[in-house]
Amino acid sequence: MSFWGNMFPAFWSLQVMLLAVLCVIATLVLCGRPRNLPPGPRGLPILGNVLSRMKDPWSYAKWSKKYGDVFTVYFGPKRIIVLHGYSVIREALVKKSKDFSSRPLNQAFLSPDGKTLGKKNIIYFKSLFIHNLCSPLGIVEEPYGPKWKEQRKFAVMSLRDFGLGKRSMEGKILEEARALGDEICKKDGRAFSISQMMQSAVSNVICSIVFGRRYEYDDTTFKDLLESIDRIVYQLFLAGTDKTSTTLRWALLYMILHPDIQEKVQQEIDSVLGPNQEPSMEHRSQMPYTEATLTEVNRLAAVTPLTVQHATSSDTTLRGYNIPKGTAVEIVLLSVHHDPQLWPEPYKFDPTRFINDAGRYVKREEVIPFSIGRRGCLGEQLARMEIFLIFTSLLQRFTFKLPGGAPKPSEEGIPGPLHQPVPFMLVAEPRK
């Protein structure tokens, strides 16, 4: 027989074998599928729905239109139940909080790389101290149970010991806001990007809380510290500084795009604080327009489009569907913040959504950038303080503008787990 004649049977038997393997996998997946799961889009064998999700960041919104507020998707063999919209998210995270407060076991895990640290050991150990204090490696990824409860209690107590909720904490944030203002002054009317400065300012707040001192933005120890922390714990900083500084960057972007709104905030600052008095959290209740503006930043910017992935801690039910113990649960906060049923013209930046006829601030429970329920953000109070005090101090000192002739930056942002604004330049004009 010829060479090709010899090869064909082998070729076909290989194909038959592959087909058989695929059939077995598909059967196992289908048979292993528990009964009465929420419906969901049909996926590819083995890959599930991962390609559609990668291709289109808005796929969840599209699927929710077809399958409802609770649906099932597969990323490879991993089954994920997606919760879309305020009412079902509240039902799961608040009413059935115990069932929906765990984390999937296969969450990405970063481990400290001791070998590469060399002489930066002191920084390393200080970083580990923060890590043990409120490390997301422990708290964020820990499944629901006694260990997580212990870690969370310890982290909350430690943050309180460091002064959270006390005037001393305000002093630390205000010191940083002043330093940031001084740095901005050095730009002397030139166009600049505030991204790095804002990141340093917010990181410095954590440093002065934990290490008892702040660092100059170009200090090499500070840079080393940030680098080490980046390597050992990015998640702590991701949990804290990234989201806080990104929110502040969005706030300034909206101010340069909406100068009329910036002017109204400044009028309120002037009438409550005047030019010299520093803001304090006590002023918040007297500043409804500023409060409404920051709430609108949280809503529209949607810095956290998704929470950290949850998982069920026991077999449970939701909206009549069965969800087995240990199933990953994706909570789409974006679906709440941009829901046209809740917010007419959802993509319009409009702080007056949160102001009533009497000019008072109206809290809306559907703004949930820090998530809700037992796994809600541990740093919410600190983040809210930083955002209010830094934003107010900056607008008291400067008017932010687009550089002359520069095109308007897009308000759409860059899709991702941390929804960042597109890079933009601004000009800071000192106020008289």
* Separation of alpha carbons 318 and 295, rounded Å: 30
Do residues 261 and 349 touch, judged by C-beta distance below 8 A?
A: yes
Indicate whether 297 belongs to the interface with ligand HEM (CB under 6 A). Answer: no
Stretch that binds ligand HEM, among 283-291, 351-359, 379-387, 401-409 (CB under 6 A): 379-387
Residue ranges in 18-47 that form contacts with ligand HEM under rule CB under 6 A: none
Do residues 295 and 354 touch, judged by C-beta distance below 8 A?
A: yes
Do residues 180 and 192 touch, judged by C-beta distance below 8 A?
A: no
287 versus 308: smaller Cβ distance to ligand HEM: 308
**AA letter at 384:** R
Token look-up 């002064």 returns: 163
Indicate whether 390 belongs to the interface with ligand HEM (CB under 6 A). Answer: no
Among 370, 388, 391, 424, binds ligand HEM (CB under 6 A): 370
The residue number whose beta carbon is nearest to ligand HEM equals 379
Indicate whether 308 belongs to the interface with ligand HEM (CB under 6 A). Answer: yes
Indicate whether 346 belongs to the interface with ligand HEM (CB under 6 A). Answer: no
Q: How many residues bind ligand HEM (CB under 6 A)?
A: 25
CB of 309 to ligand HEM, least distance (A): 8
For the chain, give percent helix, strand, coil, nearest 5.
Answer: 50, 10, 40
29 closest CA partner among 72, 61, 60, 59: 72
Indicate whether 225 belongs to the interface with ligand HEM (CB under 6 A). Answer: no
* Separation of alpha carbons 163 and 371, rounded Å: 24
Stretch that binds ligand HEM, among 62-70, 167-175, 241-249, 336-344 (CB under 6 A): 241-249
Question: Distance from first CA to last CA of the chain, Å, rounded?
Answer: 95
100 versus 424: smaller Cβ distance to ligand HEM: 100
What is the SS3 assignment for 421?
coil
* Separation of alpha carbons 225 and 38, rounded Å: 46
Do residues 224 and 215 touch, judged by C-beta distance below 8 A?
A: no
Stretch that binds ligand HEM, among 43-51, 65-73, 210-218, 376-384 (CB under 6 A): 376-384
Indicate whether 138 belongs to the interface with ligand HEM (CB under 6 A). Answer: no
Indicate whether 233 belongs to the interface with ligand HEM (CB under 6 A). Answer: no
* Separation of alpha carbons 249 and 81, rounded Å: 32
Indicate whether 305 belongs to the interface with ligand HEM (CB under 6 A). Answer: no
Q: For residues 395, 398, 400 and 405, what is the CA-based torsion angle, rounded to 10 degrees?
A: 170
CB of 331 to ligand HEM, least distance (A): 6
CB of 56 to ligand HEM, least distance (A): 22
79 versus 243: smaller Cβ distance to ligand HEM: 243
CB of 116 to ligand HEM, least distance (A): 25
Other beta carbons within 10 Å of 71: 22
Among 92, 139, 253, 329, binds ligand HEM (CB under 6 A): 139
The contacts of residue 320 (CB under 8 Å, 6+ apart) are: none
Indicate whether 194 belongs to the interface with ligand HEM (CB under 6 A). Answer: no
Among 136, 288, 351, 413, binds ligand HEM (CB under 6 A): 136
* Separation of alpha carbons 193 and 200, rounded Å: 13
In the complex, which residues of this chain contact ligand HEM (CB under 6 A)? 134, 136, 139-140, 152, 239-240, 243-244, 247, 303-304, 307-308, 310, 369-371, 375-379, 382-383
